[in-house]
Structure 1
Amino acid sequence: MNAPHHTMPESSSAFPLDRWYVVGFSWELTDKPIARTILGHPLVLFRMAEKPVALEDRCCHKSLPLSLGALEEGGLRCGYHGLLFGEDGACKDIPGQANIPCEARVRAYEIRERDQILWIWFGSSEHPAPQAEPPGYWVHSDPQYKFRGDVFHFEAPYQLVHDNLLDLSHLGYVHLRTIGGNARIHMEADMKVEQEGETIRVTRYMRDSEPPPTYTAARPFSGNVDRWQEIDFRVTHLLIWAGAVEPGSDSLSDPNRGGFHIRGFHGVTPETETSTHYFWTVATNPHPDMQDVTEIVRSQSELTFQEDKIVIEAQYRNMLRFSGASTVDVHVDVGPNRARRIIDRLCVKQRC
């Protein structure tokens, strides 16, 4: 039985509603509850009878965070006076008291688990219940790929993370130790930006370029390579397919091209208007003549995201210091600017 839905308070209008947001990964739900704030809503996440559960992180008795409680077979027990809450948010047991008031309950949220990704529905008053199932991500179950993932926290608004992921020209300046490469080639990449509804695709080709450190550590390239980067933007997450082939050996537009692949899942979920959860996985296709390089790709990707975190948080602090200062756009800003217009239109529409 699905948890009951509830209308979101007006504070959520700062973010696009009526859609699934990433709230975590399957492997995070172990034997302890998790506290996580999503779109300004303090939540407690846990697993009950093999199903993920998301409740308001507040006991209805004395307001202690339920995330400080303990998991039992029947639900989550508050760590203050022992009230037990089930998957629907209703109190099921009050120690020492037989009668359970009907108002003894907390808000329950719609949550789904698909391809090891946890999705939570944030609906409007018009669509409080999910309008569709959350998106799938086939890469996590494809045998040709091996993946790893983690969660980062950014002290910066989520759209700055969108900007960063939609504009990979920065790789040659920020990520020299991992997935960077020649900075000028990155800035001069053959780039195309396409849009269909709320979806944006940025395609970047860098032919006959020097492979960066992560690529040479994971694949026995003999010299220069033809590189590609395909960034697919959705409102709540992005998919990035990057990689390289020997020069001229494959068409970079062939969906079945070989070579070295890095497929990234990027769940960019607002915590508040000024902080962000970044849920990521990276998958790669190991070369048959090399040892499993999944850990190399994971660790270098994590280093890459740490470098992004430093840049984005410093950028935001400086935006606050220079509040109101004008900025200029350059040619690599086409994708990020389109994404911002999509977000702006959605937020304006739901406020009307």
Structure 2
Amino acid sequence: MSASNQTLAYEVSPPPALPTFPLDQWYVAALGWELNDKPVGRTLLNKPVVLFRTADGQVAALEDRCCHRALPLSSGTLDGGGLRCGYHGLLFNAAGKCIEIPGQEKIPSKAKVPMYHVQERDQIVWIWFGSSAHPEPTCEPPAYDVHSSGKYLFDGDVYHYDAPYQLIHDNLMDLSHLGYVHLRTIGGNASIHMEAKMTVESEGDVVKVVRHMPNSTPPPTYSAAYPFKGTIDRWQEIEFHVSHLRIWTGAVDANTESLDDPERGGFHMRGFHGVTPETDTTSHYFWTMATNPETNHDEVKAKVIEQTALTFDEDKVVIEAQYQNMCRFGERPMIDIHVDVGANRARKIIESLRQANGA
């Protein structure tokens, strides 16, 4: 065969896979009060992690695997300022270095486990998942002074979802569903929710959705927590960040205050929503709710937390059923409507960051 008729074959390597989740981010790993006298094992972004508090109260995070015989370190105990494996008693410090082997003086140099950068701020425990370019944190974790300002009473909990984390984003970015899903709690008139005036703004990796619902009937949660005189002017302000959302909702008596006044009074609910992937198809949802009772502080706080939990129970049922049906029907197209603008922008940010991490 002549050279001109020869076909040269080249082996083409597939492009490297994109990271499943955006990296170079602080993600929520725990609420501060979860870490007491026991280690907590948790899978975060497909990585098994053990979280614990040292003797001086600092938080630490290690790979959840003993380097000796692979038992999860979360099965161990806190001891002497470190974490002791529950199989043969190897003791690890916050940096992942083995500092004691019972019955053996010499500690092998390889007796260590990987550690993660972790930091507690405003009673939220953040963990850094960096790319190969930025294994060390490039910034401080987010502040959340709602927890530390003294202006609010708050509490919270952790939910596990059998659904991908972005379905939780979608739910939180679109509160028009309240009138249909949350009739017993924070719902209200469904038509008013669907027709609410909405503005959507983006800056960098942040998306903000603002919705106003003047002259509304107070929903059950609001009536139980605050002495409204009649109809209310209601607001919802949603702020999306890659690893968490901040949602400020509330109301004032109708025609008494401007909903554009950042210092407006009335009834406030300030929600923190840390949405952290567990795996590609499961998620952790760390939430707190803060409120500002005028009277009966403990009673109103308890009522708001109870009602919030009921609300999230309702959301969890819907989101998990949604995902089950998506799996059942496969890659079927879905349409968008007017309330999807904020959620769609959030998804574009996530995808852009994944692309950037894969560069």
CA contact (8 A) 1:12 1:39 kept: no
1:221 Cα deviation from its structure 2 partner: 1.0
> Which structure has the larger Rg over C-alpha atoms?
2
C-alpha distance in 2 between matches for 1:138 and 1:334 = 28
User: Helix, strand or coil for the counterpart of 1:312?
Assistant: helix
Query: Which position in structure 2 is the counterpart of 1:256?
Result: 263
Number of aligned residues: 343
Alignment of 1:27-176 (within 5 A): 27-48=33-54, 49-176=56-183
2:224 to 217, 224, 235: 217
Structure 1 position 325, deviation (Å): 1.2
Alignment-derived partner of residue 4 in structure 1: none
Counterpart-to-counterpart distance in 1, 2:160 and 2:124: 17
> 1:19 is matched with which residue?
25
Tell me the distance in 1 between the aligned counterparts of 2:258 and 2:81. 55
For 1:142 and 1:52, the matched residues in 2 are separated by: 22
**Which one of the candidate residues 278, 281, 290 is aligned to 1:283?**
290
Structure 2 length as normaliser, TM-score?
0.94
* Superposed displacement of residue 228, structure 1: 0.1
Pick from 333, 348, 352 the counterpart of residue 355 of structure 2: 348
User: Structure 2: any 5+ residue segments left out of the alignment?
Assistant: 1-15
**What SS does the corresponding residue of 2:193 show, helix, strand or coil?**
helix
Following TM superposition, by how much is the alpha carbon of 1:326 offset from its aligned partner in structure 2, in angstroms? Answer: 1.4
Runs of 4+ in 1 over 4 A off after TM superposition: none
Query: Any conservation in 2 of the 1:271–1:277 contact (CA below 8 Å)?
Result: yes
Report the secondary structure of 2:278's partner residue.
Answer: strand
Query: Aligned pair 1:338/2:323, yes or no?
Result: no
1:222 deviates by: 1.8
SS of alignment partner, residue 293 of structure 1: helix
User: Which residue does the alignment assign to 1:314?
Assistant: 321
Q: CA deviation at 1:244?
A: 0.3
Q: In 1, distance between residues paired with 2:147 and 2:229?
A: 30
Q: Select the residue among 307, 315, 323 that pairs with 1:300.
A: 307
Question: Which runs of 5 or more structure 1 residues have no equivalent in the other structure?
Answer: 1-9
Instruction: Name the amino acid aligned to 1:32.
Output: K
Q: Distance in 1 between matches of 2:352 and 2:142?
A: 22
Amino acid at match of 2:210: T
Deviation at 1:290, TM superposition (A): 7.1
TM-align CA RMSD: 1.2
Instruction: Tell me which amino acid in the other structure corresponds to 2:38.
Output: K
What residue number does 2:273 align with? 266
TM-score (norm 1): 0.96
CA contact (8 A) 1:11 1:40 kept: no
